[in-house]
Amino acid sequence: MTQQNDNSGSNKVWFITGSSRGFGRVWTEAALKRGDKVAATARQLASIADFSEKYGENVLTLELDVTKADQVKEAVEHAHTHFGRLDIILNNAGYSLVGTIEEASADDIRALYETNVLGPVAVIQAALPLLRKQGGGHIVGTSSNLGHVVLPVIGYYCSTKWAFEAIHESLAAEVKAFGIKVTIIEPGAYATEFGSQESLKFAPGLEIYQEFKTQFFNSLGEMERGDPNATTQAIFEIVDAENPPLRINLGSHNLSGVRSAYAERLATWEEWDAISSAAQGNVK
């Protein structure tokens, strides 16, 4: 059911990370096409230069590495000054680390969290004082259905999305009184560049897992993928809604998988509830 719109189609101003490819590029272009203004960011300015050529003064392109907190703060403040306000902060930059739990090094895991968790936090922390001062805004974060379910071989990537979910849920409660909204976008499998070499990092492999990983990648190859361009209307519905959801799936396959995962967890907790309850003890 479509939510009642608030300020729909009224030239919103977006700040988007990871605008060079995947959902970031799709959503950046869609917002510009409908007449909104966008501060589009990417690690390499050349990768988003075409936006300036097409959309002129409606777009501000900025070089941004979200792992550099000082650069993040400068970019957010520059965008706010340039456009006079920021209505939507869309944290989209991220990548996946491919490797079993045993294979990935501490450095690989640390770098993954720097981009997928600490990067979005840096953007949020830079934006919040500005959003409070202007009287509101909407923080939107690209998570994944893997923020609720887990796949092997990309377990560390899944863990960043579980952290991402917790941070945004806590944030939503903390900033509600300031008129700031929070939404977590949870896409399923889509035909984006997320599986490209630019969006993946591979941990050195161990021979013992080779057959398992081959089977895993074969199963991924058979997975039905959605059309990323079909997501734009859903994004507009969310950012234009007076009362946007805290969480929303993108795609038709997520809900059944999440429902199954939570049903299994509940069944296990209930099966072991007598032991769990006994562990409470009798301390008053």
Q: Residue 168's pLDDT is what? A: 98
State phi, psi for 252 to the nearest 5 degrees. Answer: -95, -5
**Residue among 71, 176, 166, 172 at smallest CA distance from 126:** 71
- pLDDT, residue 66, reads 97
Flag whether 61 is in a domain: yes
Is position 268 within any domain? no
Catalytic residue among 55, 156, 157, 190: 157
Asked whether residue 80 is domain-assigned, the answer is yes
Distance from C-alpha of 267 to C-alpha of 270, rounded to nearest angstrom: 5
Q: Is 157 tagged catalytic?
A: yes
In 3-state terms, what secondary structure has residue 200? strand
| Assigned domain for 271 exists | no
Strand boundaries in 68-136, DSSP class E: 88-91, 96-98
- Average per-residue pLDDT in the chain? 92
Active site residue 276: no
- The reply to whether 263 falls in a domain is no
- The backbone region for 134, taken as left when phi is positive above 0, alpha when psi lies in -120 to 50, beta otherwise, is alpha
How many domains in the chain?
1
10 is catalytic: no
Burial of 132 (0-12, 13-18, 19+ CB in 10 A): middle
The CA-atom distances, in angstroms, between 139 and each of 67, 128, 152, 154, 185 are 19, 9, 30, 26, 11
**What values do phi and psi take at 229, rounded to 5?**
-70, -20
Residue 6 counted as domain residue: no
The residues that bridge with 51 in the sheet, in sequence order, are none
Catalytic entry in 20, 143, 144, 159? 143
* CATH code for the domain of 83: 3.40.50.720
Residue 5: its pLDDT value, please?
39
Domain presence at residue 264: no
pLDDT tens across 135-167, in order?
999 999 999 999 999 999 999 999 999 999 999
Residue 275 lies in a domain: no
Give the Cα separation of 97 and 88 in Å (integer): 28
Catalytic residue among 19, 20, 159, 161: 161
At 78, the amino acid letter reads H
- Span 220-258, pLDDT tens digits: 777 778 899 999 999 999 999 999 999 999 998 899 999
Answer whether 40's CB lies under 8 Å from 60's CB.
yes
pLDDT of residue 2: 37
Report the C-alpha gap between 168 and 164 in whole angstroms: 6
Q: Give the pLDDT score at 142.
A: 96
Q: What is the predicted pLDDT for the residue at 3?
A: 39
Q: What is the reported pLDDT for 10?
A: 65
Task: Give the residue numbers spanning the domain of 45.
Answer: 13-254
What residues in the chain have per-residue pLDDT under 50?
Answer: 1-9, 196
CA–CA gap between residue 8 and residue 241 (Å, rounded): 8
